[in-house]
Amino acid sequence: MPHPSDPAALPDVRLAVTMGDPCGIGPEIVARWWMGEARPQAVVVGDAAVMARALLWVRSEGQGPTGVRRIDSVEEAWCLPPDVLPVWQPAGLPSDLLAAPVGQVDVRAGVAAAACIRGAVRLAQRGQVDAIVTAPLHKEALALAGEPYPGHTELLQAEGAPPGQPPAPVRMMLANDQLKTVLVTIHVGLRQAIEQVTLPAVLETLRITHAAAASWGVPAPRIAVAGLNPHAGEGGLFGDEEITIIGPAIEAARAEGIDARGPYAPDTVFMRARHDPPRHPGEFDVVVAMYHDQGLIPVKYLGLDQGVNVTLGLPFVRTSPDHGTAFDLAGTGRADPASLGHAAAIARQMVRGRLAAR
């Protein structure tokens, strides 16, 4: 009998893939990704008419799904022919989405994107899918729709909480083949982000990172922690957060058995962590960064086509491409689905990693 950690012994991973902002490239990259998969064990959470339009934009003669099928239950998706793209429509979709202008911010698109996220979360909570892969949404459209959340991460955190319980702490991780970074603070202004770098926040980030690492195959990760200030404060010359906040958080994490190291100068720690064998084996498995741009610029510089956004701390696996809605490409059929493909692959890997770690 195969060992439980053997991927061959594990079941297929069922994915819910949201269409994202219908005025952006989300529907197109989902359709094109589907065309490149032999038979994805996945269901698209979105609007069937929008997905049918996207399929027309990207489908070449004789290639890809022959059409879209609106399904009433997710279970129908696993029984459909491989040339049919199943779309499950969640509650709350506007009825006139096709009228929303492609390549522009529109309130209907924000309403639809949020409805798709909530629908996908419900599928995961009911155990009907194993992971969620989200196509990009537009934060301005989300705000126009009246959503109080600045992005995917915060909306998923709120929706992922069990009924009657407060949302669990979550963190954003951006990853590619060479570098993984986890953020202490996410979508807030820089001044506010600095205020949110507290000892409890840094320690909680280290705990979440350590606990999640087993799902990507590193049960005892080497975690580098970036400083907040230039040169990691240079012994207090350029700020004392490393001495009063970040250093003590690292010490507390190490007392719990977490292999956290630092704080290191943020202008060099990412180079040290970059894993590019055989020329440059990384010194660390993941870097914890203090704020959004500090952690994301290095990963995005290495290439958007392989970058994947992962939300750590949720009760289910969620991944997303490392790019936005690309309104300038929307409707052209030329958007590259590579990052979405990597997001789907990472989602499958993480689900299997969680199963194998049980």
pLDDT tens-digit readout, 111-151: 999 999 999 999 999 999 999 999 999 999 999 999 999 88
Residue 134: the pLDDT is 97
| Class of the domain covering 1-167+313-358 | alpha beta
- Give the dihedral of Cα atoms 90, 95, 98, 104; nearest 10 deg: -80
Per DSSP, the three-state class of 154 is helix
Looking at residue 277, its pLDDT comes to: 85
What φ, ψ does residue 323 adopt, rounded to 5°?
-160, 170
**Cβ atoms 61, 106 nearer than 8 A:** no
The whole-model pTM stands at: 0.89
pLDDT for residue 247: 98
Closest Cα partner for 138 from 295, 25, 294, 15? Answer: 25
Nearest to 145 by CA among 92, 186, 90: 92
What is the per-residue pLDDT for 8? Answer: 42
> Please, what is the Cα angle at 76 between 73 and 79, to 5 degrees?
170
Per-residue DSSP letter, 237: T
CB 325 within 8 A of CB 26: yes
Q: Architecture of domain 177-302 in CATH?
A: 3-Layer(aba) Sandwich (3.40)
296: CB partners within 8 A, 6+ apart: 174, 181, 183, 289
Low-confidence stretches of the chain (pLDDT < 50) are 1-10, 61
Distance from the Cα of residue 76 to its chain's centroid: 26
What does residue 310 show for φ and ψ, rounded to 5 degrees? -125, 135
Q: Which helix (H) or strand (E) holds 42?
A: strand 42-45
Count other Cβ atoms within 10 Å, centred on residue 202: 27
User: Which residues of the chain are in CATH 3.40.718.10 domains?
Assistant: 1-167+313-358, 177-302
**The pLDDT value given to residue 231:** 96
Where do the H-state alpha helices sit in the chain?
26-36, 48-58, 107-125, 139-144, 152-159, 190-196, 199-213, 241, 247-255, 269-273, 292-301, 338-357
pLDDT for position 60 = 66
Q: DSSP letter for 277, please.
A: T
**What pLDDT score was predicted for residue 65?**
65
Helix (H) or strand (E) holding 17: strand 15-18
